[in-house]
């Protein structure tokens, strides 16, 4: 495909991809995303827009960096606004030094060169303490437009949020306005106006946090969060394992990932020699039972890596993963795995993806693809490079490490020795030892933190996965974790949430109506399999419940008596005995007292390591509750040719000749006289000559005694049996 990609042009000009996209839109040649290819003519037009006439002999590489405001924002470490007066003197090195615009009016000539040539920028006086709404009114731009602009920088701002002067200057430049920052007269800044200039060293300062723990440093670049998604057994965990150089898959029963894992790895920065960059990976299970967990993974991720086996192609869970990634609105990278196999066909995989509205780059689309082999360690560097490329070109993830920490519970479990253990992915702020936190309806104080390799850590910044100890109970996977000022506040918030949940459950109960009673009467005919489920982590319990709830049958259903994280205890056995329930233990075992009590009470505890086996066994148990179905199976036919009366025996013997199949003692018999049905009963006695026999085959004569049957010559006896049909779900 001819032309230049947007992110390559942005890299050449040392600006962000969003700025190139905006300039293309202004020129009437819009591009779709940062990975889109644009014609060379459009690229030259953008280069001319960002060319600076000021430096006569500009160096070859930095020459494109003459757009002062935009390069100031692209090269974050060179603090644009506050340091403008100083660099005006030493200008011999690079054209970037005279570029940053000062908040004073003498700088309008420099930005005018980088602005569109249509009209010169205008100067507007803006107070040093200004809200977003007032700033929008000053420069004549709708406030929602500025909010959207800030969201692109990773900042959520309300209309009444106060903006830092550096942010005011940068935002104004993006709208072709020179912001003349006017200081307030005297006591006009009680909310922190004088304090704000104390943080000029951070050029990416955005919106002042309402209750910062320290002086806000503003959004800074954070590691991207990448979710590995795809069909079961397509090599997701093995691929991550190859990247991490650790044996993750060996710890999973059957090689199947049972719950979400979060890991962070360091990779070489393709733009800097010797530099390292971090990438956070979420490994989601591929089995369809983990749909909800996979959806959660997509909601907290920046990039979705779709793993498709080259020898298997697009499968049902692959389609599911595509839907989740699209619903989350995140960029997608396709990793075609297992290319080392003989029957691998990567081209077929790419063709199949187009059927699900995933257009690979090789076919003129915007989805990056890479061929890899986790087994042979092929293509891993290409995959990591594409992850960083998409990160820089399309996402530019940012977070503020100085605000109160927030995050998402990725996984939670109950450890026998340490108590509730939760894996959290930090989103904003820095989580520290001793912080008081609340997660859903649980709370606590962080007593210990570990990284994904089990090493003790004292703090966790944005996009860092950490394992926490200190919560009072096991939170639910997907709960929001927040840091609060003290443990008392955390306890109060958790109790309020628990009370709200209880009120919602009570409000959901409707009054009983006649229709409800009729439905309950009908449901009384439905048999139930009572289950108590114990698991190692919350995600596994959720997956098991959702899988079993999908088993739909009009005659039988699963009734969940209780579920929980941790080993099977005495209370579980007592509950099972009272409710006649079956205990299902997933990746946990009963303790000694529970095992002894279960044996005494004849309570069955079934232990499982793989979810497939658990679901299959529960289906079999449910099928055992179904009423049996009997099917008639024909055995044979016989014709009555003689009649023998036995007065002493109190019956009449029918002398028969077996014409088809066989007659069997104890089998059912249907007597037809002509076309009419004359009698139905069971064969009581069957004799061959003078011996009692069990059956008589075709072509032989026999005597048949059927109680209460008065035979007649010419009657046809149809012998059959009722066979029980095993029912399945």
The backbone torsions φ and ψ at residue 467, rounded to the nearest 5 degrees and listed phi first, read -100, 125
DSSP result, 177-188:
EEEEEE--SSS-
Topology agreement, domain 225-399 and domain 629-725: no
Phi, psi of 77 (to 5 degrees): -65, -5
| pLDDT < 50 positions in the chain | 1, 52-117, 186-216, 246-247, 512, 517, 521
What distance in Å separates the CA atoms of residue 146 and residue 158, rounded to the nearest whole number?
10
- 406-506 homologous superfamily: Translation factors (2.40.30.10)
Q: In 10 A of CB 567, how many CB atoms?
A: 16
Pairing, β 225-230 against β 303-309 = parallel
Give strand pairing partners of 700: none
- Beta strands 629-646 and 651-664 are antiparallel
CB count in 10 Å sphere of residue 671: 21
| pLDDT of 291 | 55
282 within 8 A of 305, measured Cβ to Cβ:
no
* Residues 666 and 685: beta-carbon distance below 8 Å: no
Q: For the beta carbon of residue 692, count every other beta carbon within 10 angstroms.
A: 10
pLDDT tens string 98-127: 333 333 333 333 443 443 445 678 888 888
Gap between the Cα atoms of 368 and 373, Å rounded? 17
Domain coordinates in residue numbering, the chain = 225-399, 406-506, 514-625, 629-725
Contact yes or no for 16/10 (Cβ under 8 A):
yes
The pTM (predicted TM-score) of the whole model is: 0.53
Sequence-distant (6+) residues with CB within 8 A of 324 are 229, 294, 295, 297, 298, 304
Q: How many CB atoms lie within 10 A of CB 4?
A: 19
Task: Please give the pLDDT value at position 426.
Answer: 93
Whether 444 contacts 490, CB under 8 Å? yes
Residue-level pLDDT at 665: 92
Q: Which residue has the tokens 């004292």?
A: 458
CATH class entry, domain 629-725: mainly beta
Rounded distance between C-alpha atoms, residue 110 and residue 320, angstroms: 52
Distance from C-alpha of 513 to C-alpha of 520, rounded to nearest angstrom: 11
Query: In this predicted structure, what is the pLDDT of residue 563?
Result: 87
Angle at 37 between CA 32 and CA 38, to 5 degrees: 90
Question: For residue range 541-581, what is the model confidence (pLDDT) as tens digits?
Answer: 888 888 888 888 888 888 888 888 888 988 888 888 878 88
Q: What is the pLDDT of residues 56-73, one digit of tens each?
A: 333 333 333 333 333 333
CA angle 46, 48, 54 (to 5 degrees): 135
Residue carrying structure tokens 């639910």: 476
Distances (CA, A) of 710 to 267, 346, 450, 636: 93, 77, 88, 20
Count of H-run helices and E-run strands, the chain? 19, 35
The residue with tokens 């993750």 is 248
Fold classification of 225-399 (topology level): Rossmann fold (3.40.50)
Quick one: DSSP state of residue 394? I
Query: What secondary structure does DSSP assign to 119-151, as a single string?
Result: S--EEEEEESSEEHHHHHHHHT--HHHHHHHHH
Report the mean per-residue pLDDT for the chain. Answer: 77
Distance CA 259, CA 261 (A): 6
- Residue 179: what pLDDT? 84
Asked if residue 472 lies in contact with residue 487, where contact means CB atoms within 8 angstroms, the answer is no
Backbone phi and psi for residue 695, each to the nearest 5 degrees, phi listed first:
-155, 160
Look up residue 211 and give its two tokens: 């209750």
Indicate the CATH number of 514-625 among 3.90.870.40, 3.40.50.10860, 3.40.50.10050, 3.40.50.720. 3.40.50.10050
pLDDT of residue 621: 85
Pairing of strands 122-127, 276-283: unpaired
| pLDDT tens digits along 245-276 | 744 555 555 655 555 578 888 888 776 667 88
**Length of the chain as a residue count:** 729
pLDDT at 132: 82
Where would I find the beta strands (DSSP E) of 45-202?
122-127, 130-131, 162-163, 177-182
Q: How many CB atoms lie within 10 A of CB 156?
A: 11
Tell me how far apart the alpha carbons of residues 73 and 170 are, in angstroms, rounded to a whole number.
Answer: 8
């Amino acid at each position: 495909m001819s032309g230049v990609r947007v992110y390559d042009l942005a890299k050449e000009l040392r600006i962000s991809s969003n700025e190139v996209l905006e300039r293309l839109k202004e020129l009437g040649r819009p591009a779709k995303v940062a990975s889109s290819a644009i014609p060379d003519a459009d690229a030259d037009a953008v280069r001319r827009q960002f060319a600076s006439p000021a430096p006569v002999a500009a160096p070859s590489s930095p020459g494109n960096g003459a757009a002062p405001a935009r390069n100031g924002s692209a090269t974050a470490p060179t603090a644009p606004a506050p340091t403008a007066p100083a660099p005006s003197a030493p200008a011999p090195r690079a054209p970037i030094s005279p570029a940053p615009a000062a908040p004073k009016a003498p700088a309008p000539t420099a930005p005018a060169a980088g602005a569109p040539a249509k009209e010169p920028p205008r100067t507007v006086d803006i107070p040093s303490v200004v809200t977003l709404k007032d700033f929008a009114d000053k420069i004549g731009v709708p406030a929602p437009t500025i909010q959207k602009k800030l969201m692109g920088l990773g900042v959520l701002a309300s209309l009444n949020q106060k903006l830092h002067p550096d942010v005011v200057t940068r935002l104004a430049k993006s709208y072709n306005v020179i912001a003349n920052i006017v200081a307030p007269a005297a006591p006009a800044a009680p909310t922190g106006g004088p304090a704000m200039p104390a943080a000029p060293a951070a050029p990416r300062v955005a919106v002042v946090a309402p209750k910062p723990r320290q002086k806000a440093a503003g959004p800074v670049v954070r590691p991207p969060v990448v979710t590995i998604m795809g069909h079961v057994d397509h090599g997701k965990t093995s691929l991550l394992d190859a990247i991490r150089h650790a044996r993750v898959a060996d710890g999973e029963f059957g090689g199947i990932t049972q719950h979400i894992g979060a890991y962070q790895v360091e990779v070489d920065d393709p733009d800097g020699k010797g530099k390292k960059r971090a990438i956070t990976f979420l490994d989601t299970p591929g089995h369809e039972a983990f749909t909800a967990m996979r959806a959660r993974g997509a909601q907290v991720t920046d990039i979705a890596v779709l793993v498709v086996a080259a020898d298997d192609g697009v499968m049902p869970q692959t389609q599911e993963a595509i839907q989740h990634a699209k619903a989350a609105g995140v960029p997608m990278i396709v990793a075609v795995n297992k290319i080392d196999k003989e029957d691998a066909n990567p081209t077929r995989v790419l063709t199949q993806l187009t059927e699900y509205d995933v257009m690979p780059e090789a076919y003129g689309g915007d989805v990056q693809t890479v061929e890899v082999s986790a087994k042979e360690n092929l293509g891993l560097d290409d995959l990591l490079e594409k992850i960083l490329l998409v990160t820089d070109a399309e996402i530019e993830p940012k977070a503020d490490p100085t605000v109160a920490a927030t995050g998402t519970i990725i996984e939670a479990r109950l450890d026998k020795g340490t108590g509730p253990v939760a894996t959290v992915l930090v989103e904003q702020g820095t989580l520290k030892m001793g912080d008081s936190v609340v997660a859903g309806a649980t709370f606590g104080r962080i007593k210990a933190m570990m990284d994904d390799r089990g090493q003790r850590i004292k703090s966790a910044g944005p996009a860092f996965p950490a394992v926490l100890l200190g919560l009072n109970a096991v939170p639910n996977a997907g709960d929001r974790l927040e840091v609060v000022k003290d443990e008392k506040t955390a306890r109060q918030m958790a109790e309020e949430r628990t009370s709200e949940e209880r009120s919602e459950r009570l409000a959901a109960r409707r009054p009983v109506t006649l229709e409800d009673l009729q439905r309950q009467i009908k449901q009384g005919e439905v048999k139930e399999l009572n289950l108590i489920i114990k698991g190692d982590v919350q995600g596994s319990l959720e997956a098991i419940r959702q899988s079993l709830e999908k088993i739909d049958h009009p005659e039988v259903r699963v009734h969940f008596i209780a579920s929980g994280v941790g080993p099977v205890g005495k209370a579980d056995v007592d509950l099972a005995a009272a409710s006649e329930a079956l205990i299902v233990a997933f990746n946990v075992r009963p303790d000694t007292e529970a095992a002894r009590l279960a044996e005494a009470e004849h309570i069955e505890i079934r232990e499982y390591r793989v979810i497939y086996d658990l679901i299959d066994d529960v289906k079999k148990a449910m099928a055992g509750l179904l009423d049996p179905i009997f099917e008639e199976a024909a055995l044979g036919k016989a014709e009555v040719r003689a009649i023998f009366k036995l007065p002493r025996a109190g019956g009449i013997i029918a002398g028969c000749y077996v014409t088809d199949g066989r007659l069997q003692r104890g089998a059912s018999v249907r007597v037809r006289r002509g076309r009419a049905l004359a009698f139905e009963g069971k064969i009581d006695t069957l004799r061959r000559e003078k011996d009692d026999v069990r059956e008589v085959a075709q072509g032989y004569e026999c005597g048949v005694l059927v109680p209460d049957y008065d035979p007649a010559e010419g009657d046809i006896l149809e012998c059959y049996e009722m066979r029980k049909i095993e029912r399945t779900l």
